Every structure is written in structure tokens, then in C-alpha cells.
């Protein structure tokens, strides 16, 4: 498989014409990964990657819902990644702001039985038994600092709950570059370092972390390289739907193995200043156990306001700061 920066994966030799994908093909491809009735599944997607899908994005969603059955739940990103200009959150209307991460995700967001979580950059949309449970707490989530504000991947955010409930993490026809799960891992890593620090050292460490629109350190291991390494270790199972390659693994397996890779050789994955900031590498199994315990790792910080965001929203000339590049 080759991958481009657009996040689209291509299968060498695959023909672009002549393949028609049905709802049953989608379900069969997911069952082949190991997904079963009652499961909780999060997926990133490219509609076009499969070939011609009979019935379009709704067919894909119905295929996913069939794969998990009435007791299961399907979750997709409904992120707003473009035209984020002005004070944090001002670009986001919970009811009307479209998802910018694919037609399948936007189609789910617009379904009458779907629920969207409330967040200006990293909302998700869900349908099925746990739809409300996964999405509702996002608005009140807080306590883990990140460049996307303290709620994005915080305690009780959708990604936090998906990790705690060990959901399936699926990539449908997209490259490893789109693995947003790595942002959850990064946030967990930063939080774990701050949690481990002494009371007297914590403010200094916290002040160095990059916030929305600001400067600072942030651990950002190469997601493509991490995905390939996880594949090589057999963490991701592989399947196909039409001409698309599908990868799937449990959240906790991805997180544990990615944490191990990064902590075994921090210099190979993280910038020097991040390695220095972190100090002694974290223990991956201990970190994962803490964050995926039934109640999760409790929030370290109390927010000043909803979406508590300590970054800049205007540049030095007073113009709004655009945040196009943060995925």
C-alpha cells in the first residue's frame, strides 16, 4: 500500500473501474477484521477508496451498523479542521458546522438517529446503543492540556471513553497519517509526565507545553511510521472492502504498542526538547492501566471556562490566528 499526504491510501494494481461495493461487502470486510455483534467501532474513511459504492455513504454506514448489530455502536470523527479563525470555538456551531473529514462522516452526523459530541475541533458523531454515552460528556470534559484546548482529548472526551471501553479503531481506505488516536496518546503522554511531576516542578513543566495558537513543546511522533511499525508487529488486522484496504485494532492495543515503541526509543520518535522535557521515559503498561481504568485518570486541572484554552486567538497585529495546520 502506498499513502499520500491527503490521507488517501491506494492499493497497487487496483483498478478504478468495475468494482461495485454493497452493504454486505462492507459488513463482510468488517467481520473479517474480527468486528462482531455488540462491538463499539470508531472509523476514519475514504468513500472513493473502495471503488463504486452502491447507494453511496449511507450504504457504508448501514454496513457498519449491520456488522455491530442492534447492541453495537458506530462512531466517526466529525472534526472541523478547516477555516478555524478567530477566538477559540467561534467557528463552531454544534448543529450546523459540517464535518470536514469525509462524506461518510458528514452523512452520519446528519442522520436523525445520530448524536454529535460538542467540541469546536474534535467532535465525533455516533449511532447505536452507546451513541449518547460516548458523545454527551464531551462538552464538560476537561483537564488535559493540549494544542486543541483542554477538552479535546480530555478525561471523559470521546477518545478517552473509546480507549477506556477498548473500542475498535478502524482505518477504511486511508493512510496511517490520519490516526487521530495518536493525538489521544500524545495528550495522555503529556498528562502522565505532569501527573508524575512533583507539585513544585509541575507549573514549570506545564508552562512549556504548546497550547492553541501558542509556542511550546508537544510530542508528535510520526503517525505514518508508527502505523507501519504497528502493522509490522501485527497490532493492526487487515481486510479489504472493494478495492480499499481496511486496518483495525483495539484502542488499547494500539495505545500500548505505540507507547512502547515511543518509550523504548524516545529519541527516534520525539524532538530533543520533548525528550528533555519528559525526563525518564514513562512505563507504558502503567500509563495505559491508569488511563484505561474504569474511571480513567482523573482530570489534573480545573478549567477556567468551557473549552479552557490558554492559547492566542489573535496575532501581534490583533488579526485572528488561523489554525489550519493542526489536525
Site of interaction with ligand COA (CB under 6 A): 6-8, 44-49, 52-53, 56, 77, 79, 101-104, 174, 178, 180, 327
Minimum separation from the CB atom of position 196 to ligand COA (A): 29
Task: Tell me how far apart the alpha carbons of residues 268 and 321 are, in angstroms, rounded to a whole number.
Answer: 32
State the cell numbers at 58.
449511507
Q: How many CA atoms lie within 13 A of 238 on its CB side?
A: 15
Position with the least CB separation from ligand COA: 7
Nearer to ligand COA, 125 or 193 (CB): 125
Nearer to ligand COA, 44 or 155 (CB): 44
Task: Tell me how far apart the alpha carbons of residues 235 and 250 are, in angstroms, rounded to a whole number.
Answer: 8
Nearer to ligand COA, 180 or 300 (CB): 180
State the cell numbers at 32.
473479517
Task: Tell me how far apart the alpha carbons of residues 115 and 108 are, in angstroms, rounded to a whole number.
Answer: 9
Q: At what angle do helices 181-196 and 284-291 cross, to 10 degrees?
A: 100
Nearer to ligand COA, 48 or 312 (CB): 48
Minimum separation from the CB atom of position 9 to ligand COA (A): 8
Minimum separation from the CB atom of position 148 to ligand COA (A): 11
Instruction: Give the dihedral of Cα atoms 36, 33, 110, 305; nearest 10 deg.
Output: 90
Residue in the structure block whose three cell numbers are 451513541: 131
Nearer to ligand COA, 6 or 272 (CB): 6
Minimum separation from the CB atom of position 313 to ligand COA (A): 22
Minimum separation from the CB atom of position 71 to ligand COA (A): 25
Amino acid at each position: 500500500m502506498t499513502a499520500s499526504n491527503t490521507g488517501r491510501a491506494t492499493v497497487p494494481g487496483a483498478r478504478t473501474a468495475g468494482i461495485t461495493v454493497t452493504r454486505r461487502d462492507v459488513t463482510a470486510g468488517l467481520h473479517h477484521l474480527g468486528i462482531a455483534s455488540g462491538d463499539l467501532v470508531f472509523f476514519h474513511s475514504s468513500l472513493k477508496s473502495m471503488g463504486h459504492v452502491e447507494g453511496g455513504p449511507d450504504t457504508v454506514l448501514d454496513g457498519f451498523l449491520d456488522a455491530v448489530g442492534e447492541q453495537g455502536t458506530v462512531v466517526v470523527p466529525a472534526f472541523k479542521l478547516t477555516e478555524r479563525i478567530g477566538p477559540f470555538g467561534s467557528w463552531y456551531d454544534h448543529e450546523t458546522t459540517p464535518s470536514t473529514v469525509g462524506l461518510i462522516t458528514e452523512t452520519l452526523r446528519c442522520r436523525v438517529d445520530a448524536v454529535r459530541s460538542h467540541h469546536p475541533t474534535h467532535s465525533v458523531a455516533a449511532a447505536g446503543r452507546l451513541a449518547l454515552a460516548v458523545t454527551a460528556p464531551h462538552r464538560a470534559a476537561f483537564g488535559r492540556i493540549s494544542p486543541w484546548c483542554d477538552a479535546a482529548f480530555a478525561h471523559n472526551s470521546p477518545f478517552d471513553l473509546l480507549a477506556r471501553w477498548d473500542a475498535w479503531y478502524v482505518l477504511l481506505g486511508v493512510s496511517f497519517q490520519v490516526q487521530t488516536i495518536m493525538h489521544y496518546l500524545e495528550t495522555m503522554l503529556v498528562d502522565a509526565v505532569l501527573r508524575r511531576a512533583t507539585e513544585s516542578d509541575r507549573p514549570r513543566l506545564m508552562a512549556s507545553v504548546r497550547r492553541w495558537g501558542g509556542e511550546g513543546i508537544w510530542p508528535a511522533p510520526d503517525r505514518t511510521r508508527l502505523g507501519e511499525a504497528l502493522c509490522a508487529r501485527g497490532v493492526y488486522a487487515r481486510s479489504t472492502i472493494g478495492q480499499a484496504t481496511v486496518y483495525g485494532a483495539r484502542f488499547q492495543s494500539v495505545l500500548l504498542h505505540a507507547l512502547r515503541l515511543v518509550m523504548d526509543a524516545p529519541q527516534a520518535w520525539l524532538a530533543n526538547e520533548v525528550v528533555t522535557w519528559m525526563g525518564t521515559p514513562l512505563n507504558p503498561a502503567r500509563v495505559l492501566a491508569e488511563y484505561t481504568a474504569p474511571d480513567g485518570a482523573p482530570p489534573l486541572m480545573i478549567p477556567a471556562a468551557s473549552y479552557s484554552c490558554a492559547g492566542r486567538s489573535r496575532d501581534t497585529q490583533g488579526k485572528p490566528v488561523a489554525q489550519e495546520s493542526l489536525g
